[in-house]
Structure 1
């Protein structure tokens, strides 16, 4: 069975790594950038599109505001990155926002951040994957209608790649990430050359359609205009998602960890801002018109399928260079899908820390064969698939849920950092260190002001459009983690050994040993012998127990018992309804009720089989009995294994061949001799085993 499951696992995941090879999985900056920053970098592929879509509800008159909104989003991103650079230096252990909030604001604040980050990571996988598929469908329209199946398949592939280890997945993702950066910068450079050196007019596909206001938004002014700009700003803030991932992944960096993480943060921020502003510039240059529905595009043909903003821009810029368009489509689709890798690296680490703090199941705390947190990776993929299927792989619907969680964690983290610097300033006396701390506190205060404003805007503009679901999920995760911690605390209290009266709390008065018997064969004899050796004559009793399901079989068992002269008493339980489990459980419970301070040990003979299908044919009664007895206080269950011939331990060793037998032509004679040896050897071995077991039982009975 182990070989049946082990071979495919090794093929898909790779060979297991020892603990001392953990250092080999640490990442240099060139690999850490695509691993942890792919989410933030890929956000520039759809954040500008969300800006154009939000402004389109008022028609063509508001498109020019895209510059202002993009500039404010870029400013907020730089402020947030500057704030997180303080985090990675102050808390390099990998707890990130959760650790900052827990240490400085308390356990409930930490759980709030953890719940927000968990929702954010799940939605990162869902949004990134579906956005990548949307770009793919824009380039290959024949795939329309298969978005859900493609998205789910990609999530499963990402899960498999991450199960192979952080370093291997990062190496695989580095080429598409750098390809995307080169592609966007190259696209902007090519557009600038055609515009300023050759005077070429580049027009997006939608530039030929007239963009009209959506129903009810024809006259947007005053407060309505302010609300529209705020809503557009909140949509553009999707570009900030993934900024926090590096602070959660500091332990995965090579030394010096904090310095390398801070440098990677700065590299990510600069590249993201430059690419986002470039896309907004090219959108205005090509006359891009994005619309929430085709009814807003006057002049669009019937059945018009709106392509993504980046697809329309690249098609217009590379109108005379088709390979460039397909390259942009390919790397954009890849980076959007691979952006989910940020979540696949952040969520398992956070889950491990929460499991260590007993807020999540302990299975999430351990590393798998490839030194990755395998259970966390699988759990993240499963929940993301549920969201993708539930929302029909529609990135526009999923993105409405997206940025609530990340800005909740931003605010809690910045608040915690302000308190962190304030606490340290109370005891620090070195003027140089104090100036550095005060500068850091100012940076975090500015960051808190920005992220708090964004959170208010996002909640006010997106709550009824789907953000309420994110808030509900945060509450559910918060309550669930509190319940898990309460359970673990209760179990810990139950299992803690009392310091007083250790003899009464640990040692029982007597032990009643019960051996379950169905028929008198080798497994039963082994169980009887083991029970006899295990018991203490002064403090234990031993009896055999069988259930009378078939009177004929019970009679044969009694005769064999008497014929062998086994002095262990055999007790027969009547079962008029032909049940086995209930009579045994009731008998054991009666023993406990009769002597509450005694312990009952039940020995159950079991077969060890070598093939998966043999499990269906054996041990079913034993499994049911163990399942019931394990819930009975004061009862211990002991499995006594008997290996069948099909199991690995009972396989006959390969016959030894003497040197020169093959050369002399003696191998045929040896093989013929071996054909008759197994049957004779097995019969002889069985006879000797029966005789030795009988002699042993008789000897122990006499003693």
Structure 2
């Protein structure tokens, strides 16, 4: 089992190796920015899909929507650059809002971000499957199974650690950026310099408008809805501010530089793809089977509508060409890896929330590879459930998207305004004051703009499915509030004050020891010997007569060996062990309410995982029930089987080998021997 784990995850890392996992900017960009960079694969299509409801005549509005999305992108990126400098310890929006607006607002933002990260995985993987299906026929019809396989692979890669997963993801992410920019530049060259006419595969299709004769209000609502869909391009921008501690020093400066690079690349690619989509006459519809007309007839259920970026690639590079296949492959890969932004943001945020006692403490623990393994597994499970529930349908999942993003954006930028107000109240002068005033103005503008977008998203997407995100946020909020209340109650209950005795509780007058036995063998004799060492006021061996013949044989052997501990046999008419033992212990407690009952259970220590299924199951059930009984202590007396001893020897040998490999001058397995000096 341990060997299999090492095969998939690699060797365990020491805590003092954490510095080796910090990321340079070239690796941090694909790790934290793959989501906003990859959004150009589906965000342009979402804009055109909504506009198609009013027919081809509405497509000219996509120019203004594209420019509005880019202005918003630049504003949010610039605002978050202020955040990473002001809060370099990570946590992003959650840290900003908690520090400036208090606990409740912080939990609200935390719940919004958690929902957004789960949706990022579901949407990115589903979109990647959708793009892959345009080139690989097998994927069509098996979208859910393929998506689940992809997120399991992402989980395994991220369990290997942030730095190692970043190296794995860097090549596909940079390949996608190069492919998209090369497509945009080549399309611009063909159109401007060569005068070529580029035609998308759907250029000759007609669109049947679902909404005709729209009034001013309906048109405005349609444009706002298209804009809100295009804002999917901003998802993942906040991940860098959450992950500042993962950067190499100087952390804040490197994080801010990575944010700027990400914003520049994402804006350029989004603008380029939208321009080429309009130039090449890409036509898409929300319901292509009936709303797209091919030679005057509906496309029908058999028609598979390719994503906008695939149609742009076919128009510019040639449908089926080698360059087109490379673009399609890079797009599918980066969409799968876009989920990696969430795989790095969700566990870090979960760790911070767990440290603040809003989530289970297990999420704060790093695994063997210094990654937050429990958070990675938790994210995988939640995203998998969403993919199954929505059948990996991008058009349905995308409606759930964005709300959580803009909740965090709005609160975060508002929190930064309060942050600057507090610093300005301290009376700085000169260059510092001017810098703070500029920063406050930028964050204030960003907060206002993000709030407007949030209102637009709520109004235009709520009925389309965004209410599911709101319910998810409310669920996370209630869950985190209840977890924090539980931890606070436990802390209050266990805390020691001046009225408590600062010593062991000695109020009990007597101790009654009960040793559970099933056979006369070595573990039983060891448990009895241990019980005698306790010098309890009373000692009894207890067995349950599930099998009358076996019980009779036990009593006979007990007498033959002259064991000087009384043996009590409990009847078990229903052949069950737990209830008779519990009833006996409760009866003993009722008879001696001020005394302590110590139940001693002999247990096997095994060396293989499968052996745990064969042993100790009754003991586990008993311990689980006895732990709930007041005034009862439970003690396990272990007996190591030969397999456990062999496992211990193997572990000791591996530890010795690892120590030798870590020693100065040691040659690692597979490494070239050191050269000798001539």
If the length of structure 1 is used for normalisation, what is the TM-score?
0.88
Q: 1:594 corresponds to which residue?
A: 591
Matches within 5 A, 1:217-232: 217-232=211-226
1:134-162: CA deviation from partner (whole Å, max 9, x where unpaired): 11112234532121111111111111100
1:627 maps onto 2:627 in alignment: no
Q: Distance in 1 between matches of 2:498 and 2:249?
A: 45
Q: Aligned-pair distance for 1:550?
A: 5.0
- Matching residue within 38, 41, 44 for 1:42: 38
1:89-140: CA deviation from partner (whole Å, max 9, x where unpaired): 1111111101111111011100100110011000000111111111111223
Conserved 8 A contact 2:607-2:647 = no
Q: Distance in 1 between matches of 2:521 and 2:352?
A: 51
Conserved 8 A contact 1:179-1:331 = yes
Q: 1:400 corresponds to which residue?
A: 399
Structure 2: runs of 5+ lacking an equivalent: 651-678
1:421-466: CA deviation from partner (whole Å, max 9, x where unpaired): 1111111333322221111111100001110110111111111001
Conserved 8 A contact 2:546-2:571 = yes
Q: Distance in 2 between matches of 1:557 and 1:334?
A: 65
- Secondary structure of the corresponding residue to residue 635 of structure 2: strand
Q: Distance in 2 between matches of 1:457 and 1:401?
A: 14
1:648 maps onto 2:613 in alignment: no
Q: Aligned-pair distance for 1:504?
A: 8.7
Q: Which structure has the larger Rg over C-alpha atoms?
A: 1
Conserved 8 A contact 1:190-1:317 = yes
Q: Distance in 2 between matches of 1:296 and 1:582?
A: 67
If the length of structure 2 is used for normalisation, what is the TM-score?
0.91
Conserved 8 A contact 1:643-1:649 = no
Q: Distance in 1 between matches of 2:226 and 2:332?
A: 24
Q: Distance in 2 between matches of 1:382 and 1:424?
A: 42
Q: Distance in 1 between matches of 2:410 and 2:497?
A: 44
Q: Distance in 2 between matches of 1:370 and 1:402?
A: 31
1:174-207: CA deviation from partner (whole Å, max 9, x where unpaired): 1111111111111011112211222111100111
Q: Aligned-pair distance for 1:367?
A: 0.4
Matches within 5 A, 1:4-19: 5-19=1-15
1:618 maps onto 2:618 in alignment: no
1:459-496: CA deviation from partner (whole Å, max 9, x where unpaired): 11111001111111111110111111111222222222
1:228-283: CA deviation from partner (whole Å, max 9, x where unpaired): 11111111111111110100010000000000000100111111111111111101
1:68 maps onto 2:64 in alignment: yes
Q: 2:78 corresponds to which residue?
A: 82
Matches within 5 A, 1:47-58: 47-58=43-54
1:341-388: CA deviation from partner (whole Å, max 9, x where unpaired): 000000000111111111111111100010000010011011111111
Q: 1:279 corresponds to which residue?
A: 273
- Secondary structure of the corresponding residue to residue 230 of structure 2: helix
CA distance 1:610–1:194, change in 2 (3 Å)? same
Matches within 5 A, 1:418-567: 418-502=417-501, 506-507=505-506, 508-533=508-533, 535-536=534-535, 540-549=537-546, 553-567=550-564
Q: Distance in 2 between matches of 1:331 and 1:315?
A: 14
Q: Aligned-pair distance for 1:398?
A: 0.5
CA distance 1:521–1:320, change in 2 (3 Å)? closer
CA distance 1:564–1:41, change in 2 (3 Å)? same
- Secondary structure of the corresponding residue to residue 134 of structure 2: helix
Q: 2:133 corresponds to which residue?
A: 137
1:369 maps onto 2:368 in alignment: yes
Conserved 8 A contact 1:115-1:477 = yes
Please, which moves more after superposition, 189-198 or 351-360? 189-198
Q: Distance in 2 between matches of 1:142 and 1:645?
A: 50
Q: Distance in 2 between matches of 1:551 and 1:56?
A: 79
- Matching residue within 188, 192, 196 for 2:192: 196
1:61-80: CA deviation from partner (whole Å, max 9, x where unpaired): 11111111100110011011
- Secondary structure of the corresponding residue to residue 604 of structure 2: strand
- Matching residue within 294, 299, 304 for 1:299: 294
- Matching residue within 541, 560, 579 for 1:582: 579
CA distance 1:517–1:260, change in 2 (3 Å)? same
Q: Distance in 2 between matches of 1:211 and 1:578?
A: 72
Q: Distance in 1 between matches of 2:355 and 2:59?
A: 50
Q: Distance in 2 between matches of 1:400 and 1:517?
A: 61
Q: 1:687 corresponds to which residue?
A: none
Q: Distance in 1 between matches of 2:572 and 2:47?
A: 75
CA distance 1:492–1:322, change in 2 (3 Å)? same
Q: 1:128 corresponds to which residue?
A: 124
Q: Aligned-pair distance for 1:571?
A: 3.4
Q: 1:697 corresponds to which residue?
A: none
Q: 1:233 corresponds to which residue?
A: 227
Q: Distance in 2 between matches of 1:28 and 1:85?
A: 17
Conserved 8 A contact 1:643-1:650 = no
Q: 1:311 corresponds to which residue?
A: 310
Q: Distance in 1 between matches of 2:91 and 2:78?
A: 18
Q: Distance in 1 between matches of 2:107 and 2:318?
A: 51
- Matching residue within 173, 176, 191 for 2:172: 176
RMSD: 2.1
Conserved 8 A contact 1:400-1:467 = yes
Aligned length in residues = 644
CA distance 1:453–1:500, change in 2 (3 Å)? same
Conserved 8 A contact 1:139-1:311 = no
1:244 maps onto 2:238 in alignment: yes
Q: 1:289 corresponds to which residue?
A: 283
Conserved 8 A contact 1:604-1:638 = yes
